[in-house]
A and B are shown apart, each in its own frame.
Chain A
Amino acid sequence: EAGVAQSPRYKIIEKRQSVAFWCNPISGHATLYWYQQILGQGPKLLIQFQNNGVVDDSQLPKDRFSAERLKGVDSTLKIQPAKLEDSAVYLCASSMTGINYGYTFGSGTRLTVV
C-alpha cells in the first residue's frame, strides 16, 4: 500500500511569513495526526482528526496555527505568522482504529524560519 505522503519536503521562510503543509494519509485511515518535532526533541502532538472532526488540538498554538481535514481525507496545516521557534520537522501520521492497527508516519516537512 502507498504510504503517508507529505509535501513539501523542505521549506525555508522568513519570520512573519505564512506557510502550509499538506498530508495525504493512507486510504481508509480514519485518524490523522500532526506532530511537531523540534531539533533534539521527540515529536509532540499538535492536532488529531477522526475523519474530518477534531479529536484533540490542546497543544496547537491556535493564535498562529490552523489545520483542516477536508472530506476526511487530505489535511493541511498552516502557520501564520511564523516565528523562529516554529523551526521544526512537521510529521503527519495516520491510522485505522483499533488495537491491531498501528501508526504509519510520513517523512515530514522540515521547516526553517529565518
Chain B
Amino acid sequence: AQSVTQLGSHVSVSEGALVLLRCNYSSSVPPYLFWYVQYPNQGLQLLLKYTSAATLVKGINGFEAEFKKSETSFHLTKPSAHMSDAAEYFCAVSPPGNTDKLIFGTGTRLQVFP
C-alpha cells in the first residue's frame, strides 16, 4: 500500500526566507509523486510532479522538489518566500499505472509574514 506523510501541519516563514515543506512516502513500487497547492475556497493546482525522470523537479512559481529514494522523501522548497505563497500544500503519491488515483497527505499550511 502507498502512503504519504507530511511533517508539520503548519509552517511559518518570513517574506524572503527559504520555504521547506516536508513529504515522505511509502510505496512498494516506484512511485509517481506530486505537489499540489490549494488557495482558500479553490480546488487544487499542480505545482510539480516526479515521474521517474530527473530527480530534481522544477515547478511553477519558483518551487522545486528533489526525489530521494534512499530517504523516501520528496520535500518541496522555494529559495525566497512571497506573501502570495501563503496557502495549503499537499503532497500526493500514485502508482505508475494510475496517476488519477492519488493518495494525499494531510497537508501543510504555509504562512508568510512580512
* A and B are partners in one complex rather than unrelated chains: no
